[in-house]
Structure 1
Amino acid sequence: MMINLLKEVARGKRGARDLTYEEAHQAADEILNMSATPAQIGAFFIAERIKMETVEELEAFTAVCRSQAFRSPIQEGLDCAGPYDGRKKTFIATFPTAFLLASAGLPVTLHGAASLPPKWGVTLQDLLQQIGIDAERLSQNQIIQAAESTGVLYVPAEQWCPPLKALRSIREELGMRTVLNTAEKLIDYSLSPYLVFGVYHNTVFDRMSKLVTNLKYKKALIVQGAEGSEDLFIERPTRTYLVENGEPQLHVVNPETYGLDTPLPEMTWTAELQISVAEDVLQGRGHMAFTNQVLLNGAVRLRLAGKVESVEEGLYTCKDLLDNGAPFELYRNWQAMMRSGIAQVGRSQ
């Protein structure tokens, strides 16, 4: 069956056709179950990359990824879907923002894996390893316990969706973006009603709006953020699409509107520096640019989830929380629980 589907998408620029949802679902099933050969899988990924994936194809791959993953209504909150290929040039603001939001009463789900192509940047997993947390060694129960206590869930994607791990070597050899770069971000491990999703190009806004509508999120914010992430810029406006009730609306978030626009210092980002800056922000002593970026992202996400009536109210809420130290205390508690899980694993071996 796979060879027949491959012939349809790989006929060249003029001859290739889009797959129906059912056909794409069959292709995804054969790929994620590894019943297709590595050569067929690689050829399919490249053909789709050239042809460009349709909403139906993306939805089918997302559905199959979800069917192969551990998913549970662990916490009803916000899913932050950033790029699994990491960051090279910008601050991962979504990490400290998660603890700010959780301290404001909005549970947050983060997820990721070891770095992938095409960017090969610093990932959330790299940040956790920097603070002594190897999430891939933790059981689902240990990770869930930390989330239930703090409101922050970090999912090691390749453990909770094993086919992603099985396909890693093929993706690394190809060295380019594939349909999985989108689908893996939409597995929605904790069945979150709210989504913030990063994209690199504004040309995908319409497709992604239709996709998140089909996936039935209560409300989603698609962000053309820093390095294709879900993080709003702080030095310039960010184009976003707010999707609610199937209706997408363009919203340009301008930090200048809130008196937050700040030039960014030149940084050579490593996992160590990312953690250092994140912890400084959570302790209220961070560089103004990064503190403001976390405040703005926090405020917009609180507004998205209906925790505040306006971005301005969200900013007041977030600033008060940073000033009283609640996000950093929550971060320390989460870190201790995750590290405790690692220690238990070590003792059992």
Structure 2
Amino acid sequence: MSNVFRDLLKKVGSGNHTCESLTRGEAAIATKMMLLGEATPAQIGAFMIAHRIKRPTGEELAGMLDGYNELGAKLKAVAFDRPVMVLGIPYDGRTRIAPISPITALLLASAGQPVVMHGGDRLPTKYGLPLVEVWQGLGVDWTRLPLEATQRVFEKTGIGFVYAPKHFPLTNSLWEYRDQLGKRPPFATMELIWCPYAGDSHIVAGYVHPPTEAMFQKALSLHGVTKFTTVKGLEGSCDLPRDRTAIIGLGGTSARDNQGLIPIERLHLAPREYGFTSQNTPLVTTAELINQIQATLAGERSEMTQSVLWNAGFYLWLSGICQDMQAGIMKAEELISRGLVAQKLQEISQTITSISEPTFQPV
């Protein structure tokens, strides 16, 4: 048993009236001790549920990020023309609405905006459809690549996927606790703003509950991150909804405020104002989703096409490639109709195949 960890557990687990929040340094120590197995299973489980009940602070999330940054894997910096867009999406997947972000990533990369995604397999507490399975269905298997190979794919194609079970295996032991507890611990919140890329980046993080955005703002401000965007998105992702106005926060629009926080500028986007219907694409089966994506990339018009154009229009504007949303929507239509997005998918698949194939030397 670790007495150091026990003292940290006592701070967060002492009840509503006497519990205390951890400092950034304490949160970093607790995170590393859990990842490294220096705390006992009883201590780790107790900490996770107590911390969830207490609710994390932005400072604690900053400390947890410190722990991940020290022990976790990162793709190396690449001399791209634009900051890499890092899409933060819940690791426990989707169960109700079709994920659009893989197509968004392909569209962005086709237009010259590099993208990094990260995640794992079907994980608790939702055990929903993870992005890595969507990519596999499209012929791109990130799960078998070591980090060095992923780096090469990223440098060549502009898209990289940090597959946590392989690239950051220290996190694997924590998933069993999440399953047994049946609730997301604060780690699940922190993962949305984790940046597994060592170069200039723009973090995009989805969320469900408004207080989460304030925690993101505090944690990222403490880390000196000035380029970030928050999205009240579908199932906590950064996919923009079509059944309601999209609520977006643009970070770093001006100097820090008197509390030292990076300011957030509020942006509201109504799909109907851009000619889109108010209906999200439901998630039925993985096979059907893959068929819908492939049809969309082939230029067929559908409800999914509307979701794709709606999201791509925003992200092409956000990246600075297009001057406004309408121009972004038109650019996305052009990229799809010219077959450039489908070509990007093929390029990634072929690059992974070429990297994975053994090289035989003549005798």
Range class of TM-score, shorter chain? over 0.9
* Correspondent of 1:8 among 11, 15, 18: 11
Q: Does 1:222 align with 2:237?
A: no
In 2: Cα distance, 1:330 partner to 1:154 partner: 15
Partner in structure 1 of residue 168 of structure 2: 161
Summarize the Cα distance change of 1:204–1:187 in structure 2 as closer, same or farther, 3 Å threshold: closer
Q: How far apart are residue 134 of structure 1 and its match?
A: 4.2
User: Is this contact kept in 1: 2:243–2:278, CA < 8 A?
Assistant: yes
Indicate the residue corresponding to 1:249 in structure 2: 265
For the residues of structure 2 that align with 1:305 and 1:128, how far apart are their CA atoms?
Answer: 23
Q: What amino acid does structure 2 have at the position aligned with 1:283? A: A
Name which of 43, 46, 49 aligns with 1:43.
Answer: 46
Shift of 1:92: 0.7
Offset of 1:286 from its aligned partner?
Answer: 4.3
Aligned residue for 2:308, secondary structure, equals: helix
Report the equivalent of 2:259. none
- Determine the structure 2 residue equivalent to 1:322: 336
Once the two structures are TM-superposed, the CA of residue 88 in structure 1 deviates from its matched residue by 0.3
Structure 2 counterpart of 1:120: 127
**Structure 2 counterpart of 1:73:** 77
Instruction: Kindly provide the amino acid, as one letter, of the partner of residue 173 in structure 2.
Output: A
Secondary structure at the residue paired with 2:204? strand
Question: Per-residue deviation at 1:235?
Answer: 2.8
* Structure 2 residue aligned with 1:106: 113
Partners of 2:218 and 2:71 in 1: how far apart? 23
2:305 to 284, 291, 308: 291
Number of equivalent positions = 343
- Give CA-to-partner distance per residue, 1:196-244, whole Å, 9 cap, x none: 1110112322222222333333422111111111100123212121111
2:293 alignment partner, one of 261, 278, 281: 278
2:185 maps to what in 1?
Answer: 178
Q: Shift in Å at residue 329 of structure 1?
A: 0.7
CA distance 1:187–1:202, change in 2 (3 Å) = closer
1:274-296 CA distances to partner (integer Å, 9 max, x unpaired)? 22222222221141x21121112
Contact 2:239 2:311 in 1 (8 A): yes
Larger RCO of the pair (alpha carbons < 8 Å, separation 6+): 1
Residues 65-84 of structure 1: CA distance to partner in whole angstroms, max 9, x if unpaired?
11111222145410011110
- What TM-score comes out, normalization by structure 1 length? 0.92
Larger deviation: 83-92 or 211-220?
Answer: 211-220
Q: Report the alpha carbon displacement of residue 341 of structure 1 after superposing the two structures with TM.
A: 4.3
* Structure 1 position 131, deviation (Å): 4.2
Note closer, same or farther for the CA distance 1:42–1:344 as it changes in structure 2 (3 Å cut). farther
**2:318 matched residue in structure 1:** 304
> Within 2, Cα distance between the matches of 1:110 and 1:275?
19
Match 2:56 to one of 50, 53, 56? 53
Unaligned runs of 5+ in 1: none
> In the superposition, relative to structure 1, how do residues 92 and 210 fare at CA in structure 2: closer, same or farther (>3 Å)?
same
2:102 is matched with: 95
Q: Aligned to 1:79, what secondary structure does the other structure show? A: strand
Q: Contact (CA 8 Å) 1:80, 1:196: kept in 2 or not?
A: yes
> What is the CA distance between 1:340 and its match in structure 2?
4.3
Q: Secondary structure at the match of 1:12?
A: coil
Aligned residue for 1:312, secondary structure, equals: helix
Which residue pairs with 1:137 in the alignment? 144
Give the conservation status (yes or no) of the 8 Å contact 1:95–1:278.
no
Query: 1:320, CA displacement in angstroms?
Result: 1.1
C-alpha contact 2:107 2:312 (8 A) present in aligned 1 = yes
2:71, 2:164 → 1: CA distance? 11
The CA deviation at 1:5 is: 0.8
Query: Structure 1 pair 305/133, CA: closer, same or farther in 2 (3 Å)?
Result: closer
Contact 1:213 1:243 in 2 (8 A): no
Change (3 A) 1:174 1:134: farther
Question: Are residues 1:83 and 2:90 paired?
Answer: yes
Distance across 1 between alignment mates of 2:69 and 2:293: 31
Is 2:263 aligned against 1:263? Answer: no
Cα pair 1:193 1:218 within 8 Å, conserved: no
**Cα deviation, residue 156, structure 1:** 0.3
**Pairwise CA RMSD of aligned residues?**
1.9
Letter in 2 for 1:84: Y
* Structure 2 portions without partners, runs of 5+: 255-261
Contact 1:81/1:185 (<8 A) preserved: yes
Secondary structure in structure 2 of the residue aligned to 1:241: strand
- The 8 Å contact of residues 125 and 178 in structure 2, kept in 1 or not, is answered as no
What secondary structure, in the 3-state scheme, does the structure 2 residue paired with 1:60 have? helix
Residue 133 of structure 1 and its aligned partner are, at CA, apart by 4.5
Is 1:213 paired with 2:213?
no
TM-score, with normalisation over the residues of structure 2? Answer: 0.89
8 Å contact kept, 2:280–2:307: no
- Change over 3 Å in CA distance of 1:132–1:257 after alignment to 2: closer
